[in-house]
Amino acid sequence: MRKIEYNISSGKSIDLKHFLITISMTSLISFLFLYIGIDNIIDTNLNLEEKIDQKKYYDTELQKITENEKIFEERIEKIKIKWNRRVVFANSVINSKVFPFIKLLEHFEEILPDMVQLNEIFMDSSKKGEIVISVNSYSIEKLYELYRKLIDNNLVIAAESENGGVYRSKLRVTLKK
């Protein structure tokens, strides 16, 4: 029996028009990819160069700042060695000078409820607003009203007593100046 031989490509021919369109489209897309790719790389490199220049600028500036900082700090340190003790002294006496005794007294006058009498007040400018007061109250409610008003000032009730309807209380508070 004779073997059948059949070549499928024989007699076939390429559709030239279709082939050319496919080739052109593929080429066009390839060129577009090539263009975008190269442009992307160039663009990135340009940005990178610009940033590298900026980085150099920042590095130089930072170095200058660090050097100047060192010079300034040394200078301040020298001045401080000579003057700091005096500056601390001057600031401390000025702070004592401006301690607001009157303002604190007026504050107590304002918040003291009726039927509560201020018996003693002690203010010390070195104790940062800590004040000791002793009061006499003819009503327990009024005494508690005073406590309520002082509660935000680190109120400490140091002593409390009652004698013949008179309530005595010794308080310590820290008022903001």
Partner 1 sequence: MKKEVIISNSILMFFAISLVLLLVSFVYSSVKTTSLEDLTEEKQLHEISEKKFATLKNNMKDWDNVEKEYLEFKDGMVLKFEDFSNFRKNLELLISRNLITKKNFRIEYKKALKNEYIKVNISMKLTGNYESFKKLINEIGKIDKIVYFRSVKMTGSESDVRGDFKMEVYLVR
Residues that bind partner 1 (CB under 8 A): 9, 14, 19, 23, 26-27, 29-34, 36-38, 40-41, 43-44, 47-48, 51, 54-55, 58, 61-62, 65-66, 68-69, 72-73, 75-76, 79-80, 83, 85-87, 89-90, 93-94, 96-97, 99, 101-102, 105, 117, 119-126
Neighbour order of strands in the sheet with 156-163: 130-137, 166-174, 156-163
Nearest to 166 by CA among 122, 115, 108: 115
Query: Least distance (Å) from partner 1 to the CB of residue 89?
Result: 5
Q: Six-digit token pair at 84?
A: 């700091």
**Is residue 164 a contact partner of residue 134, using CB atoms and an 8 Å limit?**
no
Which is closer to partner 1, CB of 3 or CB of 18?
18
Angle at Cα 55 formed by Cα 54 and Cα 58, nearest 5°?
85
- Measured distance CA(43)–CA(59) in Å, rounded: 24
Query: Least distance (Å) from partner 1 to the CB of residue 2?
Result: 28
Which is closer to partner 1, CB of 4 or CB of 94?
94
Query: Least distance (Å) from partner 1 to the CB of residue 127?
Result: 8
Which is closer to partner 1, CB of 45 or CB of 152?
45
Query: Least distance (Å) from partner 1 to the CB of residue 1?
Result: 32
Whole-number Cα distances in Å, 17 to 5, 10, 159: 31, 20, 111
Query: Least distance (Å) from partner 1 to the CB of residue 129?
Result: 13
